[in-house]
Amino acid sequence: MIVAERKPLEEIKTMVSGFKNVLTVGCGTCVAVCLAGGEKEVGVLNAELKIARKLGGNPIDMGGVTVERQCDMEFLEEIKETVGQFDAMISLACGAGVQFLAERFPDKPVFPGVNTSFIGANRDVGWYEEKCRACGTCVLGMTGGVCPVTMCAKSLFNGPCGGTNQGSCEIHKDQPCAWHMIYERLSKQNRLESIIEICPPNDWRNTIPRTIVQPGYKGRKEAL
């Protein structure tokens, strides 16, 4: 899932300081699971903002709504009447959701209420770990299911580097060396031949937004 963190109240307060009637839009998927931007967090943010603005002598009316997914136009369509009643919006979705909300309602200023942090996994309640950097060329099959792009400080596709030291990374002493972990994992699976296979360099020139159309839907895209 995409993991995000709520922005500090002061930052959000500053962004909407010129508005009196603001709708906070939560997202019911990734950001709800990681406790940053679901229905509950919409309520908490609205209460905090209302109190802060009242104390500052500049009261604000806040509305709240949570859609199933902000990164899907179908669900944004459902809130168009509600959006019409407000001057601006705070989105608690990831960066993709914020941009889709802004695209669907281009006349309304939209402000991000969270910092989108990473693609991660849920280790425990409220505890999330980064697992993938969406490099576009997944090599997990060769690395025993350990991501070298995320876990290695140098994002090496072929490792380890010369600095690995008794299982630790030379860049961050508290961080296990990704390539040591890969070695251990492959060793347990009797697949060490994978570690000596040279991985071609990734194409890091992802300077334009990437688009994926799944094979079964190419005709549909062309017809649009």
| CA-to-CA dists, residue 163 to 153, 177, 187, angstroms | 11, 9, 20
Shortest distance in whole angstroms from residue 150 CB to ligand SF4: 5
13 exposure class (CB count in 10 Å sphere: 0-12, 13-18, 19+): middle
Would you state the structure tokens that stand for residue 133, as one six-digit string? 């950097």
184 is an interface residue for ligand SF4 by CB under 6 A = no
Region of 57 please: left (phi>0), alpha (psi -120 to 50) or beta.
left
Binding track over 95-134 against ligand SF4, x by CB under 6 A: -------------------------------------xxx
Pick from 49, 47, 51, 57: nearest CA to 11: 49
Pick from 206, 209, 210, 6: nearest CA to 94: 6
170 is an interface residue for ligand SF4 by CB under 6 A = yes
Pick from 61, 67, 60, 75: nearest CA to 37: 67
* Among the residue ranges 4-12, 173-181, 189-197, 215-223, the one whose residues contact ligand SF4 (CB under 6 A): 173-181
90 is an interface residue for ligand SF4 by CB under 6 A = no
Residues between 147 and 166 that touch ligand SF4 (CB under 6 A) = 147, 149-150, 152-154, 156, 159-161, 163-164
Query: Cβ closer to ligand SF4: 120 or 160?
Result: 160
Report the interface residues with ligand SF4, using CB under 6 A: 132-135, 138-140, 147, 149-150, 152-154, 156, 159-161, 163-164, 169-171, 177-179
